[in-house]
Amino acid sequence: MDEVTKTRFKVLAGLAVIVVLVHLVLIKVFVFGGTKADSGNKKEAAKVKEPPVSAPAKPRAYRYFVPSKNPRFGMALDYSGAIRGNLPAKAVAGSAGARSGIIVDMDTRKVLWEKNSSRPVPIASMAKMMTMLLVMEQLEKRADITVRTPVSVTKTARDVPRTGVLFLAPGESFTVQELMVATAVKSANDAATLLAEYFGGSVPAFVGMMNTRAMQLKLRNTSFINPCGLPENKRNSMGSAADMVMLGEQLLQYPLLMQWCNLKSASIRDGKTVFVNTNKLVNPRYPGVDGLKTGYIRAAGSCLTFSAVRNQRRIMGCVTGFKSSRERDRFCRRLLDWAYQQP
């Protein structure tokens, strides 16, 4: 082998060695994950990409609102086993006096009895349930207002027809709580109107809020013309007995409001003006009754949305159209006792 051939052989051998080494390096990188330095870099990269561990979410703090623990809260009512029309007099006397009515086991959503419960009828002061609900919802949302916030009497409130009123005077001021108690207990039309104007900016704007909320709650047979339930220009706030129960259920989530609805009497003006609850079912003789709202105008008759808890069982009902509050209350007491006897 001459010198030229030897040189060529050495060059080729060297190239072969280089090729083999390159392949070994590539195999190590792509098959075994690279060098220790590369592996360390990948671990560091993985650490960077890991999402940070978030702290457990804190439960929302409420001021006045307490969410219902009833898993069926707000669900549709079940009419499948309901007694319809007038109840047998031997079971519950007096149902013939009702234009419409309903009574519901709220824990199961079962309607125990109903009479024209989906028919829109004048609801009179039961409209104040929506007024009170919106005020409580606004209090929950607005940090700048509490139940102790003073509200000055306005001309709008003073101009409310002088029936079922506090006779608010120029220059007077009342706290939100005082006005709410007067609305819940006395059913004061001027107090409800003043609250509506204060929280809505104007009464028409607040009435718009009432009707919007009714749609949100799927109260399909309910509409409002004012915050107090008085007739205006031969028009009335309308609603069905079933809708009033569903509306009343919303109030249960505001324990302070329910305390007001459950007062037998209250006062304002440093005790100079005293009023008693228009809901006579709020009485120690009728165990468990904790509200809700009465109503009367000529077109509506005597109306009542009522609520009670006995043995941890919530029953709610509504009746409209009775000729007198006495006849209405007698029937509602019997109806409640009968409802609690049903399985």
**Per-residue model confidence (pLDDT) at position 5:** 53
Mean pLDDT across 301-325 = 98
**Per-residue model confidence (pLDDT) at position 67:** 96
Among 95, 117, 125, 237, the one annotated catalytic: 125
- pLDDT-based confidence at 193, cuts 50/70/90? very high
d(CA 164, CA 230): 10
Share of the chain above pLDDT 70, in %: 83
By DSSP bridging, strand 110-115 and strand 100-105 are antiparallel
**Per-residue model confidence (pLDDT) at position 162:** 87
Annotated catalytic, 54?
A: no
Residue 2 or residue 165, greater confidence: 165
Among 115, 128, 186, 293, the one annotated catalytic: 128
Residues 238-252 pLDDT 10s = 999 999 999 999 999
Residue 228 or residue 40, greater confidence: 228
**Per-residue model confidence (pLDDT) at position 55:** 63
Residue 25 or residue 84, greater confidence: 84
Residues 94-147 pLDDT 10s = 999 999 999 999 999 999 999 999 999 999 999 999 999 999 999 999 999 999
- Mean of per-residue pLDDT scores for the chain: 89
Question: Is residue 73 predicted with pLDDT exceeding 90?
Answer: yes
Question: Is residue 315 predicted with pLDDT exceeding 90?
Answer: yes
Residues 173-184 pLDDT 10s = 999 999 999 999
By DSSP bridging, strand 150-152 and strand 173-175 are antiparallel
- pLDDT-based confidence at 258, cuts 50/70/90? very high
Annotated catalytic, 47?
A: no
**Per-residue model confidence (pLDDT) at position 270:** 94
**Per-residue model confidence (pLDDT) at position 35:** 44
- pLDDT-based confidence at 39, cuts 50/70/90? very low
Mean pLDDT across 60-64 = 86
d(CA 126, CA 278): 12
Mean pLDDT across 41-64 = 60
Mean pLDDT across 319-331 = 98
d(CA 168, CA 208): 25
Question: Is residue 37 predicted with pLDDT exceeding 50?
Answer: no
Annotated catalytic, 187?
A: yes
**Per-residue model confidence (pLDDT) at position 61:** 80
Among 187, 237, 302, 325, the one annotated catalytic: 187
Residue 1 or residue 194, greater confidence: 194
Question: Is residue 50 predicted with pLDDT exceeding 70?
Answer: no
Q: Identify residue 316 by its one-letter amino acid code.
A: M
Residues 138-172 pLDDT 10s = 999 999 999 999 999 999 999 999 889 999 999 99
Range from 36-40, 127-131, 150-154, 326-330 carrying the lowest mean pLDDT: 36-40
Residues 8-31 pLDDT 10s = 555 555 555 565 565 555 555 444
